[in-house]
Structure 1
Amino acid sequence: MIESLPLFHRMAGRPVVVTGSGEAADAKRRLVERAGARPTADLAEGIALGARIAFIAEEDEARAQAAVSQARAAGLLVNAPDRPALCDFTVPSILDRTPVLVAIGTGGASAGLAKQLRLRLEALLPQSLGELARALLAARPALRSRFPDAGERRQALDAALAQGGPLDPLTEAGEARLSLWLSEAAEPASDTVEIVLRSDDPDDLTLRQARQLGSADLILHEPEVPPAILDRARADAPRLVIGPGEMEVPAVRGLVLMLRVRAR
Protein backbone atom coordinates (compact mmCIF):
# COMPACT_ATOMS: atom_id res chain seq x y z
CA MET A 1 0.00 0.00 0.00
CA ILE A 2 1.29 3.48 -0.87
CA GLU A 3 1.16 6.03 1.95
CA SER A 4 0.30 9.01 -0.24
CA LEU A 5 -1.08 9.59 -3.73
CA PRO A 6 1.30 11.43 -6.10
CA LEU A 7 -0.48 14.09 -8.15
CA PHE A 8 0.57 16.77 -10.63
CA HIS A 9 -1.28 19.99 -9.85
CA ARG A 10 -1.62 22.72 -12.50
CA MET A 11 -0.77 26.02 -10.84
CA ALA A 12 0.01 28.44 -13.70
CA GLY A 13 -1.51 31.86 -13.07
CA ARG A 14 -3.08 30.83 -9.76
CA PRO A 15 -2.42 32.31 -6.31
CA VAL A 16 -0.41 30.22 -3.85
CA VAL A 17 0.25 31.22 -0.25
CA VAL A 18 3.91 31.18 0.87
CA THR A 19 4.38 32.64 4.34
CA GLY A 20 7.53 33.16 6.40
CA SER A 21 11.10 34.20 5.70
CA GLY A 22 14.46 32.50 5.38
CA GLU A 23 15.82 29.72 3.16
CA ALA A 24 12.79 27.43 3.38
CA ALA A 25 10.33 30.19 2.42
CA ASP A 26 12.58 31.44 -0.39
CA ALA A 27 12.92 27.92 -1.80
CA LYS A 28 9.14 27.42 -1.83
CA ARG A 29 8.61 30.80 -3.55
CA ARG A 30 11.09 29.86 -6.26
CA LEU A 31 9.33 26.52 -6.73
CA VAL A 32 5.90 28.20 -6.96
CA GLU A 33 7.18 30.75 -9.49
CA ARG A 34 8.83 27.97 -11.50
CA ALA A 35 5.40 26.36 -11.83
CA GLY A 36 3.96 29.65 -13.13
CA ALA A 37 1.89 30.42 -10.02
CA ARG A 38 1.60 33.74 -8.16
CA PRO A 39 2.99 33.53 -4.61
CA THR A 40 1.45 35.72 -1.92
CA ALA A 41 2.96 36.13 1.53
CA ASP A 42 -0.33 37.13 3.18
CA LEU A 43 -2.49 34.18 4.19
CA ALA A 44 -5.72 36.17 4.45
CA GLU A 45 -5.10 37.73 1.04
CA GLY A 46 -4.37 34.34 -0.48
CA ILE A 47 -7.59 32.91 0.94
CA ALA A 48 -9.54 35.87 -0.48
CA LEU A 49 -7.92 35.34 -3.90
CA GLY A 50 -9.01 31.69 -3.94
CA ALA A 51 -5.68 29.98 -3.24
CA ARG A 52 -5.87 26.20 -2.89
CA ILE A 53 -2.37 25.54 -1.57
CA ALA A 54 -0.34 27.08 1.24
CA PHE A 55 3.31 26.72 2.19
CA ILE A 56 3.65 27.74 5.83
CA ALA A 57 7.38 28.36 6.34
CA GLU A 58 7.18 30.17 9.68
CA GLU A 59 10.18 29.65 11.97
CA ASP A 60 8.15 30.17 15.14
CA GLU A 61 6.28 26.99 16.11
CA ALA A 62 3.22 28.74 17.52
CA ARG A 63 2.84 30.99 14.46
CA ALA A 64 3.28 28.00 12.17
CA GLN A 65 0.56 25.99 13.93
CA ALA A 66 -1.83 28.96 13.94
CA ALA A 67 -1.29 29.63 10.23
CA VAL A 68 -1.75 25.94 9.39
CA SER A 69 -5.01 25.84 11.32
CA GLN A 70 -6.28 28.98 9.57
CA ALA A 71 -5.32 27.69 6.13
CA ARG A 72 -6.95 24.30 6.71
CA ALA A 73 -10.11 25.92 8.03
CA ALA A 74 -10.32 27.80 4.72
CA GLY A 75 -9.96 24.54 2.77
CA LEU A 76 -6.33 24.91 1.67
CA LEU A 77 -3.89 22.02 1.45
CA VAL A 78 -0.86 22.81 3.58
CA ASN A 79 2.85 22.09 3.49
CA ALA A 80 4.92 23.17 6.50
CA PRO A 81 8.65 22.68 5.80
CA ASP A 82 10.45 20.56 8.42
CA ARG A 83 7.15 19.89 10.23
CA PRO A 84 5.82 16.63 8.69
CA ALA A 85 3.06 16.34 11.31
CA LEU A 86 1.54 19.59 9.99
CA CYS A 87 1.74 18.65 6.30
CA ASP A 88 -1.15 17.58 4.08
CA PHE A 89 1.35 16.95 1.27
CA THR A 90 5.10 16.79 0.76
CA VAL A 91 7.15 18.34 -2.04
CA PRO A 92 9.11 15.86 -4.17
CA SER A 93 12.51 16.24 -5.74
CA ILE A 94 11.75 17.09 -9.37
CA LEU A 95 13.53 15.90 -12.49
CA ASP A 96 12.53 18.25 -15.31
CA ARG A 97 12.28 17.10 -18.92
CA THR A 98 9.20 19.22 -19.62
CA PRO A 99 6.55 18.11 -20.33
CA VAL A 100 7.93 14.96 -18.69
CA LEU A 101 8.35 15.40 -14.95
CA VAL A 102 9.68 12.75 -12.59
CA ALA A 103 8.77 13.43 -8.96
CA ILE A 104 10.66 11.52 -6.26
CA GLY A 105 9.27 11.55 -2.76
CA THR A 106 10.16 9.81 0.48
CA GLY A 107 7.09 10.83 2.49
CA GLY A 108 9.16 13.42 4.30
CA ALA A 109 11.67 10.81 5.51
CA SER A 110 14.74 12.24 3.76
CA ALA A 111 15.02 15.07 1.25
CA GLY A 112 18.66 14.10 0.78
CA LEU A 113 17.72 10.60 -0.36
CA ALA A 114 15.19 12.00 -2.85
CA LYS A 115 17.82 14.40 -4.20
CA GLN A 116 20.43 11.68 -4.70
CA LEU A 117 17.93 9.48 -6.53
CA ARG A 118 17.06 12.42 -8.78
CA LEU A 119 20.74 13.05 -9.56
CA ARG A 120 21.19 9.40 -10.55
CA LEU A 121 18.18 9.58 -12.84
CA GLU A 122 19.39 12.87 -14.35
CA ALA A 123 22.28 10.94 -15.87
CA LEU A 124 19.94 8.28 -17.32
CA LEU A 125 17.17 10.36 -18.90
CA PRO A 126 18.21 12.23 -22.07
CA GLN A 127 17.18 15.82 -22.71
CA SER A 128 15.34 14.60 -25.83
CA LEU A 129 12.72 12.97 -23.58
CA GLY A 130 10.67 16.18 -23.63
CA GLU A 131 10.84 16.30 -27.42
CA LEU A 132 9.59 12.72 -27.64
CA ALA A 133 6.67 13.51 -25.33
CA ARG A 134 5.67 16.55 -27.40
CA ALA A 135 5.94 14.48 -30.59
CA LEU A 136 3.68 11.78 -29.11
CA LEU A 137 1.11 14.43 -28.19
CA ALA A 138 1.15 15.88 -31.71
CA ALA A 139 0.89 12.39 -33.21
CA ARG A 140 -2.29 11.40 -31.33
CA PRO A 141 -4.60 11.84 -34.37
CA ALA A 142 -2.22 9.82 -36.54
CA LEU A 143 -1.93 7.12 -33.86
CA ARG A 144 -5.72 6.84 -33.58
CA SER A 145 -5.98 6.59 -37.36
CA ARG A 146 -3.25 3.93 -37.57
CA PHE A 147 -4.56 1.92 -34.58
CA PRO A 148 -8.30 2.63 -34.12
CA ASP A 149 -8.64 0.06 -31.34
CA ALA A 150 -7.45 1.48 -28.01
CA GLY A 151 -6.00 -1.85 -26.85
CA GLU A 152 -4.00 -2.31 -30.05
CA ARG A 153 -2.80 1.30 -29.88
CA ARG A 154 -1.60 0.85 -26.32
CA GLN A 155 0.09 -2.46 -27.15
CA ALA A 156 1.88 -0.97 -30.17
CA LEU A 157 3.12 1.98 -28.15
CA ASP A 158 4.23 -0.27 -25.28
CA ALA A 159 6.34 -2.32 -27.69
CA ALA A 160 7.81 0.77 -29.36
CA LEU A 161 8.68 2.48 -26.06
CA ALA A 162 10.10 -0.65 -24.41
CA GLN A 163 13.81 -1.12 -23.82
CA GLY A 164 15.47 -1.56 -27.19
CA GLY A 165 12.31 -0.53 -29.07
CA PRO A 166 12.30 2.03 -31.89
CA LEU A 167 11.08 4.74 -29.50
CA ASP A 168 13.08 3.69 -26.42
CA PRO A 169 12.82 6.83 -24.22
CA LEU A 170 16.33 6.29 -22.82
CA THR A 171 17.80 6.88 -26.28
CA GLU A 172 17.72 10.01 -28.42
CA ALA A 173 14.20 9.41 -29.75
CA GLY A 174 12.36 12.35 -31.30
CA GLU A 175 9.78 13.41 -33.87
CA ALA A 176 11.67 11.96 -36.87
CA ARG A 177 11.93 8.49 -35.33
CA LEU A 178 8.27 8.61 -34.28
CA SER A 179 7.17 9.42 -37.83
CA LEU A 180 9.32 6.60 -39.24
CA TRP A 181 7.97 4.08 -36.71
CA LEU A 182 4.38 5.13 -37.34
CA SER A 183 4.78 4.58 -41.08
CA GLU A 184 6.26 1.11 -40.59
CA ALA A 185 4.51 -0.18 -37.44
CA ALA A 186 2.85 -3.57 -37.83
CA GLU A 187 -0.48 -4.56 -36.30
CA PRO A 188 0.12 -5.88 -32.76
CA ALA A 189 -0.86 -9.48 -32.20
CA SER A 190 -3.16 -10.64 -29.42
CA ASP A 191 -1.48 -13.01 -27.02
CA THR A 192 -2.03 -14.92 -23.80
CA VAL A 193 0.86 -15.40 -21.40
CA GLU A 194 0.89 -17.50 -18.24
CA ILE A 195 3.19 -16.66 -15.34
CA VAL A 196 3.72 -19.09 -12.49
CA LEU A 197 4.95 -17.03 -9.55
CA ARG A 198 8.13 -18.08 -7.78
CA SER A 199 7.23 -16.24 -4.57
CA ASP A 200 4.96 -13.58 -3.07
CA ASP A 201 7.70 -10.95 -3.52
CA PRO A 202 7.24 -8.77 -6.65
CA ASP A 203 11.03 -8.25 -6.74
CA ASP A 204 11.36 -11.92 -7.71
CA LEU A 205 9.61 -11.28 -11.02
CA THR A 206 11.93 -11.40 -14.00
CA LEU A 207 12.33 -8.22 -16.04
CA ARG A 208 10.27 -9.79 -18.82
CA GLN A 209 7.49 -10.76 -16.41
CA ALA A 210 7.48 -7.27 -14.86
CA ARG A 211 7.13 -5.69 -18.32
CA GLN A 212 4.28 -8.08 -19.22
CA LEU A 213 2.53 -7.33 -15.94
CA GLY A 214 2.86 -3.60 -16.53
CA SER A 215 1.48 -3.70 -20.07
CA ALA A 216 -1.20 -6.43 -19.98
CA ASP A 217 -4.71 -5.47 -21.10
CA LEU A 218 -6.41 -8.10 -18.89
CA ILE A 219 -5.18 -9.84 -15.74
CA LEU A 220 -6.53 -13.31 -14.90
CA HIS A 221 -5.31 -14.50 -11.52
CA GLU A 222 -5.85 -17.15 -8.91
CA PRO A 223 -7.26 -15.95 -5.56
CA GLU A 224 -3.94 -16.63 -3.82
CA VAL A 225 -1.96 -14.17 -5.96
CA PRO A 226 -0.81 -11.52 -3.46
CA PRO A 227 -1.91 -7.87 -3.81
CA ALA A 228 1.75 -6.78 -3.93
CA ILE A 229 2.06 -8.59 -7.28
CA LEU A 230 -1.22 -7.25 -8.66
CA ASP A 231 -0.19 -3.71 -7.70
CA ARG A 232 2.54 -3.93 -10.35
CA ALA A 233 -0.08 -4.22 -13.10
CA ARG A 234 -1.54 -1.27 -15.00
CA ALA A 235 -4.08 0.46 -12.77
CA ASP A 236 -6.72 0.47 -15.54
CA ALA A 237 -6.26 -3.17 -16.56
CA PRO A 238 -9.31 -5.28 -15.57
CA ARG A 239 -8.68 -8.12 -13.12
CA LEU A 240 -10.63 -11.38 -13.06
CA VAL A 241 -10.24 -14.14 -10.47
CA ILE A 242 -9.95 -17.65 -11.94
CA GLY A 243 -10.37 -20.99 -10.22
CA PRO A 244 -7.76 -23.79 -10.09
CA GLY A 245 -9.09 -25.60 -13.15
CA GLU A 246 -10.11 -22.65 -15.30
CA MET A 247 -8.21 -22.13 -18.55
CA GLU A 248 -10.79 -20.40 -20.75
CA VAL A 249 -9.57 -16.94 -21.77
CA PRO A 250 -12.06 -14.17 -22.62
CA ALA A 251 -11.86 -12.72 -26.12
CA VAL A 252 -9.73 -9.62 -25.61
CA ARG A 253 -7.62 -7.74 -28.13
CA GLY A 254 -4.14 -7.28 -26.72
CA LEU A 255 -2.12 -9.04 -24.05
CA VAL A 256 -3.92 -11.30 -21.56
CA LEU A 257 -1.82 -12.27 -18.55
CA MET A 258 -2.66 -15.32 -16.45
CA LEU A 259 -1.09 -15.35 -12.98
CA ARG A 260 -0.86 -18.60 -11.08
CA VAL A 261 0.78 -19.52 -7.80
CA ARG A 262 1.60 -23.07 -8.92
CA ALA A 263 2.10 -24.89 -12.20
CA ARG A 264 -0.80 -26.78 -13.82
Structure 2
Amino acid sequence: MIETLPLFHRIDGQPVVVLGMGEAAEAKRRLVERAGGLVIDDLQEGIDKGARLAFIAYEDDTAAEADAIRARCAGLLVNATDRPALCDFTVPSILDRSPVLVAIGTGGASAGLAKQVRLRLEQILPQSLGALASALGKARGALRARFPDAGDRRRALDAALGEGGALDVLSDVSAGRVEVWLSAAPLEQGGTVEIALRSDDPEDLTLKEARLLGSADVIAFERGVSSRILDRARADAQRAVLGKNDGVSFASGLTVIVRAPSAAR
Protein backbone atom coordinates (compact mmCIF):
# COMPACT_ATOMS: atom_id res chain seq x y z
CA MET A 1 0.00 0.00 0.00
CA ILE A 2 1.21 3.51 -0.79
CA GLU A 3 0.43 6.30 1.67
CA THR A 4 0.15 9.07 -0.93
CA LEU A 5 -0.74 9.20 -4.63
CA PRO A 6 2.07 10.76 -6.70
CA LEU A 7 0.71 13.16 -9.34
CA PHE A 8 2.24 15.69 -11.73
CA HIS A 9 0.29 18.95 -11.57
CA ARG A 10 0.38 21.40 -14.51
CA ILE A 11 0.64 24.98 -13.25
CA ASP A 12 2.12 26.76 -16.28
CA GLY A 13 0.44 30.16 -16.46
CA GLN A 14 -1.73 29.40 -13.42
CA PRO A 15 -1.90 31.34 -10.12
CA VAL A 16 -0.29 29.62 -7.12
CA VAL A 17 -0.39 31.05 -3.60
CA VAL A 18 2.93 31.25 -1.74
CA LEU A 19 2.76 32.81 1.72
CA GLY A 20 5.61 33.69 4.05
CA MET A 21 9.06 35.24 4.18
CA GLY A 22 12.53 33.81 4.45
CA GLU A 23 14.46 30.97 2.85
CA ALA A 24 11.65 28.37 2.93
CA ALA A 25 9.16 30.69 1.23
CA GLU A 26 11.72 31.78 -1.38
CA ALA A 27 12.47 28.15 -2.20
CA LYS A 28 8.76 27.52 -2.86
CA ARG A 29 8.55 30.65 -5.03
CA ARG A 30 11.49 29.47 -7.12
CA LEU A 31 9.90 26.04 -7.50
CA VAL A 32 6.57 27.50 -8.65
CA GLU A 33 8.28 29.84 -11.11
CA ARG A 34 10.44 26.99 -12.44
CA ALA A 35 7.23 25.16 -13.38
CA GLY A 36 5.78 28.27 -15.02
CA GLY A 37 3.33 29.17 -12.26
CA LEU A 38 2.34 32.72 -11.33
CA VAL A 39 3.23 33.41 -7.69
CA ILE A 40 0.49 35.13 -5.65
CA ASP A 41 1.56 36.30 -2.17
CA ASP A 42 -1.91 37.17 -0.86
CA LEU A 43 -4.32 34.36 0.02
CA GLN A 44 -7.53 36.23 -0.77
CA GLU A 45 -6.13 37.38 -4.11
CA GLY A 46 -5.17 33.80 -4.90
CA ILE A 47 -8.66 32.58 -4.01
CA ASP A 48 -10.24 35.27 -6.18
CA LYS A 49 -8.00 34.36 -9.13
CA GLY A 50 -8.85 30.66 -8.91
CA ALA A 51 -5.61 29.29 -7.47
CA ARG A 52 -5.66 25.55 -6.78
CA LEU A 53 -2.46 25.23 -4.72
CA ALA A 54 -1.20 27.08 -1.66
CA PHE A 55 2.28 26.93 -0.12
CA ILE A 56 2.42 28.27 3.44
CA ALA A 57 5.85 28.96 4.94
CA TYR A 58 5.18 30.85 8.17
CA GLU A 59 7.33 30.69 11.28
CA ASP A 60 4.26 31.09 13.50
CA ASP A 61 2.27 27.89 14.05
CA THR A 62 -1.02 29.66 14.74
CA ALA A 63 -0.84 31.77 11.58
CA ALA A 64 0.12 28.74 9.50
CA GLU A 65 -2.80 26.70 10.80
CA ALA A 66 -5.28 29.57 10.33
CA ASP A 67 -4.33 30.21 6.71
CA ALA A 68 -4.12 26.48 5.96
CA ILE A 69 -7.72 26.05 7.15
CA ARG A 70 -8.86 29.13 5.25
CA ALA A 71 -7.19 27.99 2.03
CA ARG A 72 -8.55 24.45 2.35
CA CYS A 73 -12.07 25.74 2.97
CA ALA A 74 -11.76 27.71 -0.27
CA GLY A 75 -10.89 24.51 -2.15
CA LEU A 76 -7.11 24.86 -2.38
CA LEU A 77 -4.68 22.04 -1.73
CA VAL A 78 -2.22 23.06 0.98
CA ASN A 79 1.47 22.48 1.65
CA ALA A 80 2.66 23.92 4.97
CA THR A 81 6.43 23.85 5.40
CA ASP A 82 7.61 21.56 8.24
CA ARG A 83 4.00 20.87 9.32
CA PRO A 84 3.01 17.47 7.86
CA ALA A 85 -0.32 17.43 9.71
CA LEU A 86 -1.42 20.54 7.78
CA CYS A 87 -0.35 19.25 4.36
CA ASP A 88 -2.61 17.91 1.62
CA PHE A 89 0.48 17.28 -0.49
CA THR A 90 4.25 17.22 -0.07
CA VAL A 91 6.95 18.48 -2.44
CA PRO A 92 9.30 15.78 -3.77
CA SER A 93 12.95 16.04 -4.64
CA ILE A 94 12.96 16.39 -8.44
CA LEU A 95 15.36 14.82 -10.90
CA ASP A 96 15.01 16.81 -14.12
CA ARG A 97 15.50 15.17 -17.50
CA SER A 98 12.69 17.16 -19.10
CA PRO A 99 10.26 16.05 -20.30
CA VAL A 100 11.17 13.13 -18.04
CA LEU A 101 10.79 14.02 -14.37
CA VAL A 102 11.55 11.69 -11.49
CA ALA A 103 9.99 12.75 -8.19
CA ILE A 104 11.33 11.23 -4.96
CA GLY A 105 9.22 11.67 -1.85
CA THR A 106 9.26 10.35 1.70
CA GLY A 107 5.82 11.51 2.79
CA GLY A 108 7.42 14.38 4.67
CA ALA A 109 9.60 12.07 6.76
CA SER A 110 12.99 13.29 5.51
CA ALA A 111 13.75 15.77 2.75
CA GLY A 112 17.44 14.93 3.21
CA LEU A 113 16.82 11.27 2.39
CA ALA A 114 14.86 12.19 -0.75
CA LYS A 115 17.72 14.44 -1.85
CA GLN A 116 20.34 11.74 -1.43
CA VAL A 117 18.26 9.25 -3.43
CA ARG A 118 17.94 11.86 -6.18
CA LEU A 119 21.70 12.49 -6.20
CA ARG A 120 22.36 8.75 -6.61
CA LEU A 121 19.90 8.56 -9.50
CA GLU A 122 21.49 11.64 -11.09
CA GLN A 123 24.62 9.53 -11.59
CA ILE A 124 22.67 6.74 -13.30
CA LEU A 125 20.15 8.39 -15.61
CA PRO A 126 21.79 9.97 -18.69
CA GLN A 127 21.11 13.56 -19.72
CA SER A 128 19.89 12.17 -23.06
CA LEU A 129 16.86 10.57 -21.40
CA GLY A 130 14.77 13.67 -22.10
CA ALA A 131 15.75 13.61 -25.77
CA LEU A 132 14.68 9.95 -25.96
CA ALA A 133 11.28 10.83 -24.49
CA SER A 134 10.84 13.68 -26.97
CA ALA A 135 11.79 11.44 -29.90
CA LEU A 136 9.26 8.81 -28.80
CA GLY A 137 6.63 11.51 -28.44
CA LYS A 138 7.21 12.69 -32.01
CA ALA A 139 7.06 9.09 -33.22
CA ARG A 140 3.74 8.35 -31.47
CA GLY A 141 1.70 8.44 -34.67
CA ALA A 142 4.14 6.22 -36.57
CA LEU A 143 4.28 3.83 -33.63
CA ARG A 144 0.50 3.51 -33.56
CA ALA A 145 0.44 2.93 -37.30
CA ARG A 146 3.02 0.12 -37.04
CA PHE A 147 1.42 -1.44 -33.96
CA PRO A 148 -2.34 -0.65 -33.99
CA ASP A 149 -2.95 -3.00 -31.05
CA ALA A 150 -2.08 -1.39 -27.69
CA GLY A 151 -0.71 -4.67 -26.30
CA ASP A 152 1.58 -5.18 -29.29
CA ARG A 153 2.75 -1.57 -28.97
CA ARG A 154 3.51 -1.95 -25.26
CA ARG A 155 5.43 -5.19 -25.74
CA ALA A 156 7.50 -3.70 -28.56
CA LEU A 157 8.42 -0.69 -26.42
CA ASP A 158 9.17 -2.87 -23.39
CA ALA A 159 11.61 -4.94 -25.44
CA ALA A 160 13.26 -1.90 -27.02
CA LEU A 161 13.56 0.22 -23.87
CA GLY A 162 14.73 -2.58 -21.59
CA GLU A 163 18.30 -3.39 -20.66
CA GLY A 164 20.29 -4.16 -23.80
CA GLY A 165 17.34 -3.22 -26.04
CA ALA A 166 17.58 -1.09 -29.16
CA LEU A 167 16.43 1.96 -27.18
CA ASP A 168 17.92 1.08 -23.79
CA VAL A 169 16.94 3.96 -21.49
CA LEU A 170 20.43 4.10 -19.97
CA SER A 171 22.18 4.44 -23.31
CA ASP A 172 23.37 7.89 -24.41
CA VAL A 173 22.66 7.11 -28.08
CA SER A 174 19.12 5.72 -27.89
CA ALA A 175 17.45 9.03 -28.77
CA GLY A 176 19.03 8.93 -32.23
CA ARG A 177 17.91 5.37 -32.89
CA VAL A 178 14.12 5.78 -32.64
CA GLU A 179 13.41 6.17 -36.38
CA VAL A 180 15.70 3.29 -37.36
CA TRP A 181 14.23 1.04 -34.67
CA LEU A 182 10.66 1.88 -35.66
CA SER A 183 11.29 1.04 -39.31
CA ALA A 184 12.24 -2.53 -38.38
CA ALA A 185 10.69 -3.09 -34.94
CA PRO A 186 9.58 -6.71 -34.66
CA LEU A 187 6.19 -7.84 -33.36
CA GLU A 188 6.91 -9.19 -29.88
CA GLN A 189 5.00 -12.39 -29.14
CA GLY A 190 3.04 -12.88 -25.94
CA GLY A 191 2.69 -16.22 -24.21
CA THR A 192 2.31 -17.61 -20.73
CA VAL A 193 4.99 -17.64 -18.03
CA GLU A 194 4.72 -19.14 -14.56
CA ILE A 195 6.37 -17.76 -11.42
CA ALA A 196 6.57 -19.98 -8.35
CA LEU A 197 7.11 -17.68 -5.40
CA ARG A 198 9.61 -18.53 -2.71
CA SER A 199 8.14 -16.10 -0.19
CA ASP A 200 5.71 -13.19 0.12
CA ASP A 201 8.59 -10.71 0.11
CA PRO A 202 8.83 -8.87 -3.25
CA GLU A 203 12.56 -8.43 -2.61
CA ASP A 204 12.93 -12.17 -3.20
CA LEU A 205 11.79 -11.82 -6.81
CA THR A 206 14.56 -12.20 -9.35
CA LEU A 207 15.16 -9.33 -11.77
CA LYS A 208 13.56 -11.39 -14.54
CA GLU A 209 10.48 -12.16 -12.43
CA ALA A 210 10.06 -8.51 -11.49
CA ARG A 211 10.37 -7.52 -15.16
CA LEU A 212 7.74 -10.07 -16.19
CA LEU A 213 5.31 -8.85 -13.53
CA GLY A 214 5.83 -5.28 -14.60
CA SER A 215 5.17 -5.97 -18.29
CA ALA A 216 2.42 -8.62 -18.18
CA ASP A 217 -0.96 -7.98 -19.80
CA VAL A 218 -2.68 -10.53 -17.53
CA ILE A 219 -1.78 -11.63 -14.00
CA ALA A 220 -3.37 -14.93 -12.96
CA PHE A 221 -2.62 -15.78 -9.35
CA GLU A 222 -3.40 -18.36 -6.71
CA ARG A 223 -5.23 -17.48 -3.55
CA GLY A 224 -2.64 -16.73 -0.92
CA VAL A 225 -0.40 -14.60 -3.14
CA SER A 226 0.50 -11.48 -1.19
CA SER A 227 -0.80 -8.11 -2.38
CA ARG A 228 2.79 -6.87 -1.97
CA ILE A 229 3.75 -9.13 -4.87
CA LEU A 230 0.75 -8.17 -7.01
CA ASP A 231 1.52 -4.48 -6.49
CA ARG A 232 4.62 -5.01 -8.63
CA ALA A 233 2.37 -5.60 -11.66
CA ARG A 234 1.09 -2.86 -13.94
CA ALA A 235 -1.95 -1.15 -12.46
CA ASP A 236 -3.91 -1.69 -15.70
CA ALA A 237 -3.01 -5.36 -16.11
CA GLN A 238 -5.98 -7.73 -16.09
CA ARG A 239 -6.13 -9.90 -12.96
CA ALA A 240 -7.73 -13.27 -12.36
CA VAL A 241 -7.74 -15.61 -9.37
CA LEU A 242 -6.89 -19.17 -10.29
CA GLY A 243 -9.40 -21.77 -9.19
CA LYS A 244 -9.17 -25.55 -9.19
CA ASN A 245 -9.13 -25.53 -13.00
CA ASP A 246 -6.12 -23.65 -14.31
CA GLY A 247 -7.21 -23.99 -17.94
CA VAL A 248 -8.53 -20.44 -18.05
CA SER A 249 -8.68 -18.67 -21.41
CA PHE A 250 -6.90 -15.32 -21.29
CA ALA A 251 -6.62 -12.46 -23.78
CA SER A 252 -3.70 -12.46 -26.18
CA GLY A 253 -0.48 -10.99 -24.84
CA LEU A 254 1.81 -11.91 -21.99
CA THR A 255 0.14 -13.82 -19.17
CA VAL A 256 2.03 -14.40 -15.94
CA ILE A 257 0.72 -17.10 -13.61
CA VAL A 258 1.83 -16.50 -10.03
CA ARG A 259 1.95 -19.46 -7.66
CA ALA A 260 1.84 -18.79 -3.93
CA PRO A 261 4.67 -19.98 -1.67
CA SER A 262 4.01 -23.60 -0.69
CA ALA A 263 3.33 -22.61 2.93
CA ALA A 264 0.52 -20.27 1.82
CA ARG A 265 -1.34 -22.78 -0.32
SS at match of 1:32: helix
Matched, 1:120 2:115: no
Q: CA deviation at 1:180?
A: 1.3
Q: Is the 8 A contact 1:99 1:130 kept in 2?
A: yes
The unaligned stretches of length 5 or more in structure 1 are none
1:148 aligns with 2:151: no
Once the two structures are superposed, residues 61-81 of structure 1 have per-residue CA deviations (whole angstroms, 9 ceiling, x without a partner) of 111111111101101000000
Q: Which residue of 2 aligns with 1:226?
A: 226
RMSD: 1.3
Alignment partners' CA distance in 1, 2:162 and 2:247: 29
Alignment of 1:144-183 (within 5 A): 144-183=144-183
Say whether the 8 Å CA contact 1:129–1:173 is kept in structure 2.
Answer: no
Tell me the amino acid that sits aligned with residue 64 of structure 2.
A
Deviation at 1:247, TM superposition (A): 2.7
Cα shift readout 1:150-205 (whole Å, capped 9, x = no counterpart): 10110110011111111111111444311111112111112100000000001100
2:95 corresponds to 1:82: no
Report the residue type matching 1:119 in the other structure. Answer: L
In the alignment, is residue 258 of structure 1 matched against residue 263 of structure 2? no
CA distance in structure 1 between the aligned counterparts of 2:98 and 2:169, rounded to whole angstroms = 14
Q: Relative to structure 2, which stretch is displaced further, 28-37 or 159-168?
A: 159-168
Question: For residue 141 of structure 2, what is the amino acid of its counterpart?
Answer: P
| Residue ranges of structure 2 left out of the alignment (5+ in a row) | none
Aligned-partner SS, 1:91 = coil
State the match for 1:55 in structure 2: 55
Change (3 A) 1:262 1:54: closer
AA partner of residue 252 (structure 2): R
Residue 66 (structure 2) pairs with residue 38 (structure 1):
no
Aligned to 2:246: 247
- Structure-2-length-normalised TM-score: 0.97
Q: More displaced, 178-187 or 197-206?
A: 178-187
Amino acid at match of 1:103: A
CA distance in 1, matches of 2:75, 2:146: 46
More off after superposition, 249-258 vs 129-138: 249-258
* Change in 2 beyond 3 A, CA 1:67/1:144: same
Provide the C-alpha distance between the structure 2 equivalents of 1:262 and 1:175, rounded to a whole number of angstroms.
42
Matched, 1:189 2:193: no
Offset of residue 98 of structure 1: 0.4
> Which amino acid in the other structure matches residue 201 of structure 1?
D
SS at match of 1:24: helix
The one-letter amino acid of 2:99's match is P
- Equivalent residue of 1:258, what SS? strand
What secondary structure does 2:223 align onto?
Answer: coil
Q: Percent identity over the alignment?
A: 66
Partner of 2:236: 236
Normalising by structure 1, report the TM-score.
0.97
Secondary structure, counterpart of 2:64 in structure 1: helix
Amino acid at match of 2:191: D
The residue type equivalent to 1:197 in the other structure is: L
Q: Could you tell me how far apart the structure 2 residues matched to 1:15 and 1:212 are?
A: 43
Distance in 2, matches of 1:129 and 1:218, equals 29
Aligned twin of 2:99: 99
Report the alpha carbon displacement of residue 145 of structure 1 after superposing the two structures with TM.
1.1
3-state SS of paired residue (2:72): helix
Q: 1:259 is matched by which residue type in structure 2?
A: V
Q: Report Cα offsets for 1:51-102 as digits up to 9, x if no partner.
A: 0000011111111111111101101000000111111110000000000000
- Contact preservation (8 Å) 1:152, 1:253: no
